[in-house]
Amino acid sequence: MMKRKQSLTSFKMITSNLENRAKELNAKFKNEFGLKLCQNIVEYVRVLPRQKFSSIIDKNIFTAQMSKIFNITGAYTIERLYVAITRSELPPYIVYVDDYCELLLTFMSNNTIKRADLVFDVFSGKGLHITKFEVRRALKETLGMQSIEEDEREEYLNNMTRMVMEATDVNQDGIIVREEFRDMAVNSEKTMPMYRLLLARCLPDDEMVTKFRQMLEGKTRFEIAANYRHERKRMLRSMETEQECLVQSLYPVELEGL
């Protein structure tokens, strides 16, 4: 009887905590998504930490989610995303469940400023400005340069970096501050090509976001809990399988017995 009461009390505390988290997220995004979707997001994310009652989203599951659900595969971009949403000022960087819930809602949001701020934090490393070097590094990840001759790649990359800086660095002081980046995002009808270049590998495609949203919409919180209780294992196993297939494709010869 005592164990049953303790279990019931624990369940009520967990439920209350989840509801409070969902309300805070819904308020932060000014009811853009509604309380029910925020509740489902929180319910989905809470099963992702390594340990049952942990609130930490480790890099393994973060990388798997970015890659398998949102098709964000660049190691540099994933690392920068992780750092951008952490509360830590210095390593070791730690991402909590609440931080990750906010990232997922930012992916789905139509709020241009929120999305622009995320991209800015990714490329600036949560700094006060984006340097020319950081723009160049971001473009190197973004641009598909395989079709360009190797001896022409540096010149091409330098030209694209210059174009982005000219389009964004309004006062031409050699850095892009947050307000300049926001202005570029808001006025993206004129600067869309430049903005797209910078966010291409940082924000998922609309199709990926829609699929993810459809996973969670129109369901109760309890259905989410039941459907995705093994989501961490499924994600990590999928990554392992993909890596094994890559190794087999690179080394197809059977080495056993040699």
Total of domains in the chain: 2
Looking at the domain assignment, is residue 122 inside a domain?
no
- Mark which of 203, 219, 247 sits at the end of a domain: 203
Q: 78 pLDDT exceeds 80?
A: yes
The residue-averaged pLDDT of 201-221 equals 92
196 and 217 part of one domain: no
pTM (predicted TM-score): 0.84
42 and 169 part of one domain: no
Among all chains, which residue has been given the structure tokens 């494709």? Answer: 249
Looking at the domain assignment, is residue 3 inside a domain?
no
CATH number, residue 141: 1.10.238
Give the range of the structural domain holding residue 181, as residue numbers without chain letter: 127-203
Question: In this structure, which amino acid lies at residue 37?
Answer: L
72 and 197 part of one domain: no
Three-state secondary structure of 231-254: HHHHHHHHHHHHHHHHHHHHCCCC
Looking at the domain assignment, is residue 248 inside a domain?
no
Q: What angle do CA 163, 192, 146 make, to 5 degrees?
A: 60
179 and 151 part of one domain: yes
What pLDDT score does 5 carry?
A: 47
Q: 204 pLDDT exceeds 70?
A: yes
65 and 190 part of one domain: no
Looking at the domain assignment, is residue 84 inside a domain?
yes
Cα–Cα distance measured from residue 165 to residue 143, given in angstroms and rounded to the nearest whole number: 16
Whether 35 and 23 have beta carbons less than 8 Å apart is answered as yes
Looking at the domain assignment, is residue 51 inside a domain?
yes
Supply the DSSP string of 154-202, one letter for each residue: HHHHHHHHHHHHHHH-TT-SSEEEHHHHHHHHHTHHHHHHHHHHHHTTT
196 and 219 part of one domain: no
Whether 212 and 69 have beta carbons less than 8 Å apart is answered as yes
212 and 199 part of one domain: no
Q: What region, left, alpha or beta, does residue 218 occupy, with left being phi > 0 and alpha being psi -120 to 50 degrees?
A: left
104 and 46 part of one domain: yes
Q: In a 3-state reduction of DSSP, which class is residue 90?
A: coil
Looking at the domain assignment, is residue 257 inside a domain?
no
Cα–Cα distance measured from residue 141 to residue 156, given in angstroms and rounded to the nearest whole number: 14
45 and 153 part of one domain: no
Looking at the domain assignment, is residue 180 inside a domain?
yes
Tell me the per-residue pLDDT of 12-67, one tens digit each, with 9 for 90 and over.
Answer: 444 568 899 999 999 999 999 999 999 999 999 999 999 988 999 999 999 999 99
47 and 160 part of one domain: no
Whether 66 and 58 have beta carbons less than 8 Å apart is answered as no
Looking at the domain assignment, is residue 7 inside a domain?
no
What pLDDT score does 135 carry?
A: 87
From the number of C-beta atoms within 10 Å of its C-beta (0-12, 13-18, 19+), residue 213 rates as middle
212 and 102 part of one domain: yes
Q: 225 pLDDT exceeds 90?
A: yes
49 and 95 part of one domain: yes
From the number of C-beta atoms within 10 Å of its C-beta (0-12, 13-18, 19+), residue 225 rates as middle
Count of residues making up the chain: 258
